[in-house]
Amino acid sequence: MWFLTRLMPIFSWGIKMLLHLGVRLTIFGPMLLLTVRGRKTGKPRTLPVDLHEHEGRRFLIATHGLGSWVYNLRAGGCGVLSLGWRRQAFTAVELAPEAGGPVIKGVFGPLLALRGKR
């Protein structure tokens, strides 16, 4: 499994470049580039994320645990989503666990029900 940790930065860089060029990608949801200011440095940080829709609202879900982007978004409260030349600034609101649970179930329930038939 050591090779996965070495390949992930290359894989992530490739996805970032495709999204920067405007190529639409989907893994768990439509992928976009998220840019947030670093909470310590103040420098803009950009990474690919999945954007999920549920009941007419859009959500960023930390599917791989609390990464730096989560802490940066919490600290800054806003960010920019982009795909190619299209950019959209937004203000983030963190959901309480009671409100977030149904969203996660609504987003990932159908994906899990497919059992790999996607």
Residue 28 is predicted with a pLDDT of 74
C-alpha pair distances (Å), 80 with each of 87, 92, 117: 7, 10, 33
How far apart are the C-alpha atoms of 62 and 27, rounded to whole Å? 14
Query: What does pTM read for this prediction?
Result: 0.82
Summarize pLDDT for 24-59 with one digit per residue, the tens: 988 777 899 999 999 999 999 999 998 888 888 899
CATH topology assigned to domain 2-113? Pnp Oxidase; Chain A (2.30.110)
Summarize pLDDT for 56-95 with one digit per residue, the tens: 889 998 877 788 999 999 999 999 999 999 999 999 999 8
pLDDT tops 60 at residue 6: yes
- Residue 8 neighbours by CB distance under 10 Å: 10
Residue 25 is predicted with a pLDDT of 87
pLDDT tops 70 at residue 114: no
Q: What residue ranges do the domains of the chain occupy? A: 2-113
Q: Percent of the chain beyond pLDDT 70?
A: 92
